[in-house]
Structure 1
Amino acid sequence: MAFIHDVLQAPSYGWKNADGELSKPTTKQILKEFFSRLNIIKCKKNWLSFTSWVMVLCLAPFLLLFIFKYFTLKGLAIAFVYSMIVMGTHGTIWYHRYCTHRAYKFKNNFWRFVTQNLTLKIIPEEIYAISHHVHHALSDTPGDPYNAEGGFLYCFLADVNHQPVNRNLSEKHFDRCVTLMKHTGVTTNSYKQYQKWGSVANPLQMIIGVIANWAFWFTVFYLLGGMGLACAIFGAAGVWAVGVRTFNYEGHGKGKDKRRDGIDFNRNDMSINQLWPGIVAGEWHNNHHLYPKSARSGFKAYQVDAAWYYIKFMSMIGAVSHYHDSKKEFLKNYVDKQTVVAQPVYCPVTGKEVFAS
């Protein structure tokens, strides 16, 4: 477990307090940590967190232009669908089920590239995937990078304060990080480059990838609907980028036990199934924690799972060569009831056969 405990850069306030319990920082401590880790002048190893938030800020002007210059009800509807459903579902498909859990496998790199770039690229794979392995290993315990017991800001700013890779990894542990990332197609640093930049991902290659992705999609949206459509969708993507940072706080009951019998079957952590994230993004979170490597987490009839529909479609056309689906196992272990067949027995009092209860 040493790798899991050490792979992320611990915040200045630490993961645990003197009693071994979760260290719960004050708002001031969280904000101080946040701005310190965004300071690329002080330390260029902060480049990945800095770039991640700069991308969000770059989308803000598009949102303002849409609101004050290009606003239409049609544009608002498109923005809503794109941010809530398209971006949300893609996050589940790419970052969650593929980058972290490898719940399915692409036939070749072409289809991986297509899936990776289905939407605007905003979240660096490294920040999401490596820390999410830690989240599952240490869920709702000290060391979980977005432990809901730490409070809203603890989770909301976790991508900067808690999720970056440790800058002092041994070469052996760095190689393990590379192994966790190599299937994603992200260009990784050598160990020497990592010591310089403090990240697994290569800065130049990642930034070029983002610029190319944004340029492609801006061109597509502009050709389809002009500046109004481009601003609506780019602005919506920025809204999603901020909103998604609230998910794990909500998805783990805001630090309280909100699990419900017959709905949330995983009892190893505080994850819960929520109707809205499930419907718009296929993120049935308690189901996912129960079977993290499953390409489907919408197991019950009402649990819509658009991310699974995409993966299944890709499998049908040959773009996905393999996937894990834990639905049958879930139904068998948690839903289906075993029928006890009553056997007739002889009753000496009545002289007749009766069924034992």
Structure 2
Amino acid sequence: MAFIDHVLQVPSYGWTDHNGRLVRPVKGQILSEFLRRINIFKDFRNWLPLMSWLKVLCTVPFLALFVFKYFSLPLLVVAFLYSMIIMGTHGTIWHHRYCTHGAYKFKNRFWRFITQNLTISMIPEEIYVISHHVHHAKADQPGDPYNAQAGFLYCFLADVNHQPIAKNLCESDYNRVRTMMKHTGVSANTYVQYLQWGSYVHPFRAVLAWALNWSFWFLVFYLLGGPGLVACMFGAAGFWAVGVRTFNYEGHGKGKNMQVEGTDFNRNDNSINQIWPGIVAGEWHNNHHLYPKSARSGFKPYQVDLAWYYIKFLYRIGAVTSYHDSKEDFLKHHHAPFMQNR
């Protein structure tokens, strides 16, 4: 089997049936798999997907405090801007364009660290990066960890059910995982440690990074606006972390071909360009699938790309040394021919 076929932990219901067709598990199967995969008492190697959702649960008290004690219209605007725009754009900048696709390069570790911690940490890099490579290799095909054709819940709980790396990789395959993650700056387990913990990152380092990131932002927000702002921002971060888990279902047409001629030029899968994710997070998803290694995905004049503006700004000040920009290629080979044939 090819590396991309077995690098992720296969769910109990499998990717395909005996005829090679996509398995569409029922809700009970998906929920049962979710509970099994976060059960650290059965297998402590389930610690990383559990931590991913534990972060979300830890933001619930903050959200409750914001809604029931500190709520105000100005803070609601702040929460909206932080969750919808800042958190969303950071996810595109860091997890998507840098960690997964290496669309640009930092000058040094300092700027990489700053960019990594621009917001409240919610998503483990390891869960996102490896599975997203599989997603691009198998988009809307069996084995795609968030295949929209299998339904909303299949995508929504994918970070637990489908995205963690397999726990039984051979040493050479684990070294390939390390190569895919090396540029992110996240320290790797040795192969022996990987077999023990079932993950690329060590639990101690992951929890320490979480604690330091949250402590820093807690202090910053407290100094800027007291407990009300702290509750607002951490509650907003949790809201985003839940919402972002719905994106790939929506971004791939809810499992249907919803592409629009002249807007969605990549026809190899069901990815679509959506106005809202594009404007608030630079996530022009069909453009991204057409040019996954491009640091810019907003190619047309109306396609606002806040993530690209940040990357370009860092380049201007010398913090980013190089980047890929596929706009000219898109205009030449896709947009211009379409306009000529109208």
Fold similarity call, TM over 0.5? yes
CA RMSD, aligned part only? 1.1
Larger radius of gyration: 1
Amino acid at match of 1:156: F
CA distance in 2, matches of 1:338, 1:309: 27
User: What are structure 1's unaligned runs of at least 5 residues?
Assistant: 341-357
Per-residue deviation, residues 283-317 of structure 1 (Å, max 9, x unmatched): 00000000000000000000000000000000000
Q: Match for residue 55 of structure 1?
A: 55
Once residues 284 and 241 of structure 2 are traced to their aligned partners in structure 1, the CA distance between those partners, rounded to angstroms, is 19
Cross-structure match for 1:101: 101
Distance 1:6 1:284 in 2: 29
Secondary structure in 1 aligned to 2:21? coil
CA distance in 1, matches of 2:208, 2:337: 54
Of 197-206 and 238-247, the range deviating more from structure 2 = 197-206
Q: Give the letter aligned to residue 297 of structure 2.
A: S
Does residue 181 in structure 1 map to residue 181 in structure 2?
A: yes
2:321 is paired with a residue whose SS is strand
Query: Matches of residues 209-220 of structure 1 in structure 2 within 5 Å?
Result: 209-220=209-220
Q: Distance in 1 between matches of 2:319 and 2:36?
A: 43
- For the residue of structure 1 that corresponds to 2:194, the secondary structure is helix
**How far off is 1:339 after superposition?**
11
The amino acid across from 1:101 in the alignment is H
Question: What residue in structure 1 maps to residue 4 of structure 2?
Answer: 4
- Matched residue SS, 1:105: strand
Is the contact between residue 218 and residue 230 of structure 1 (CA under 8 Å) also seen in structure 2? yes
Number of positions where the alignment pairs a residue of Structure 1 with one of Structure 2: 340
Q: What pairs up with 1:95-174 in 2 under 5 angstroms?
A: 95-174=95-174
**Residues 283, 297 of structure 2: 8 Å contact kept:** yes
Give the aligned residue type for 1:110. Answer: F
Query: Structure 1, residues 324-357: CA drift from partner, whole Å, max 9, x if none?
Result: 00000000001125999xxxxxxxxxxxxxxxxx
Q: Percent identity?
A: 67
Asked whether the 8 Å contact 2:105–2:323 carries over to 1, the reply is yes
Misfit runs of 4+, over 3 Å: 337-340
In 1, the alpha carbon distance for the partners of 2:38 and 2:245 equals 17
- Using structure 2 for the length normalisation, give the TM-score: 0.98
Q: Could you tell me which residue of structure 2 aligns to residue 330 of structure 1? A: 330
Q: For 1:232 and 1:15, locate their aligned partners in 2 and report how far apart those are by CA, in whole Å.
A: 40
Which sections of structure 2, spanning at least 5 residues, go unmatched? none
Equivalent in the alignment of 2:33: 33
Partner of 1:353: none
Could you tell me the TM-score, scaled by structure 1's length? Answer: 0.94
Q: Distance in 2 between matches of 1:337 and 1:162?
A: 39
Q: Which residue of 2 aligns with 1:273?
A: 273
Match of 2:42 in 1: 42
Q: Secondary structure at the match of 1:122?
A: coil
8 Å contact from structure 1 (residues 264, 286) kept in 2: yes
1:184-219 residue CA offsets vs partner (Å, 9 max, x unmatched): 010110000000000011111111001000000010
2:262–2:338 contact (8 Å) kept in structure 1? no
Indicate the residue corresponding to 1:249 in structure 2.
249
Deviations 1:138-170 (A, max 9, x none): 000000000000100000000000000000000
**CA deviation digits over 1:27-54, x for unaligned, max 9?**
0000000000000011000000011100
Q: Deviations over 1:90-125 (max 9, x none)?
A: 000000000000000000000000000000001000
